[in-house]
Amino acid sequence: MEYKYTYHRKKLMSRYTAIKIIEALNTRRGFAKVSFDLGISEEDVEIVNRDSIVIVDGFEIEMELLRELIDSNDVYCLEDGNIVKVAFYADGNYYKLRCVAEKAAPTLEINGIHMHRITGVTPWEDALMKVKAAKVHKGLEVLDICTGLGYTAIASANMGANSIISIEKDINVLKIAEINPWSRGLENDRIKIIVEDAAKVVREMGDEAFDRIIHDPPRFQLAGELYSMEFYKELYRVLKFGGILYHYTGQPGIKRRVNFVKGVSNRLRSVGFKVEVKRDLMGVLAFKL
């Protein structure tokens, strides 16, 4: 099923918004320059202190909540006079937008597991590194497996890719992306999102349809089929000769000294790829030569 992504512009608050509001209150300024889109832009807003309530740009916020926000990575939405955490339960899972740094793209957490690298790198920087490693450039056809918040698809479009087909199995992930300001680049005619099991979709694709593949699956325990030799055969088939696959693997088993990446590399080689391990990106590059 093709998914029509629509960005829903909302006012979002993070700990960094709360810090600036409280700083304005402590210095008794009647205004503050804050961001309501997780650091993409800033605006001047009026701050009014009424005992335990702070009025920010017309929204009433309890001082207690502001103080809690400072020690939290949660993201809150200001809408219709209410302040709601950007998080929800659906289909047995708990989804949450998580702030990682000031003026940085957030990550998505599912059941407490974050879906991006966040140590020493922001999710946006990580996506850009992956796309650059795959040498995405103007005019290419790109397959993006596991859309998530859409950062690699957006980065591919920004690098000039002619078209990007992005596959996401979980529609709840896309619902979060629709209120994430850093995902709004998915509103792009060159990006087509398909909601379906990636293994099924790829099997139905034509031979040599793509110049580049960005494969960023969940951990093996959650989506083992996306690490299988059968799936790698399909990726090899749909990739053009001379094409490049970037496959994120992470470092599962490292504490138990299990070489998970070696197993991935061996399976990729067995279906025909030339493989280069990229430890700095926690993944591998695979070439169809």
The pLDDT of 26-32, averaged and rounded, is 80
Packing angle of the helix pair 151-158, 123-133 (nearest 10 deg): 50
Task: Outline where 27-167 has alpha helix (H).
Answer: 63-70, 123-133, 151-158
What is the pLDDT, as a whole number, of residue 79? 82
- For 130, phi then psi, to 5°, come to -65, -45
* Least confident piece of the model among 36-40, 48-52, 231-235: 48-52
- Residue 257: which pLDDT band, with cuts at 50, 70 and 90? very low
262-284 tens-digit pLDDT = 999 999 999 999 999 998 889 99
What is the pLDDT, as a whole number, of residue 256? 47
More confident residue, 106 or 53: 106
- C-alpha 43/C-alpha 57 separation (Å) is 10
- C-alpha 105/C-alpha 121 separation (Å) is 11
Query: Domain boundaries in the chain?
Result: 11-85, 117-287
- Residue 11: which pLDDT band, with cuts at 50, 70 and 90? very high
CATH architecture of residue range(s) 117-287: 3-Layer(aba) Sandwich (3.40)
The pLDDT of 46-65, averaged and rounded, is 82
Nearest alpha carbon to residue 116 among 233, 231, 281: 281
pLDDT at residue 196 is higher than 60: yes
pLDDT at residue 81 is higher than 80: no
pLDDT at residue 255 is higher than 70: no
pLDDT > 70 fraction of the chain, expressed in percent and rounded = 98
- C-alpha 64/C-alpha 62 separation (Å) is 5
What is the overall mean pLDDT for the chain? 92
- C-alpha 263/C-alpha 267 separation (Å) is 6
Nearest alpha carbon to residue 42 among 58, 29, 31, 53: 31
Nearest alpha carbon to residue 90 among 177, 176, 1: 176
108-138 tens-digit pLDDT = 999 999 899 998 999 999 999 999 999 999 9
Q: Strands of 43-50's sheet, edge to edge?
A: 31-34, 43-50, 53-56, 59-62
Two structure tokens written together for 176: 């979060």
pLDDT at residue 252 is higher than 80: no
Packing angle of the helix pair 229-238, 260-270 (nearest 10 deg): 50
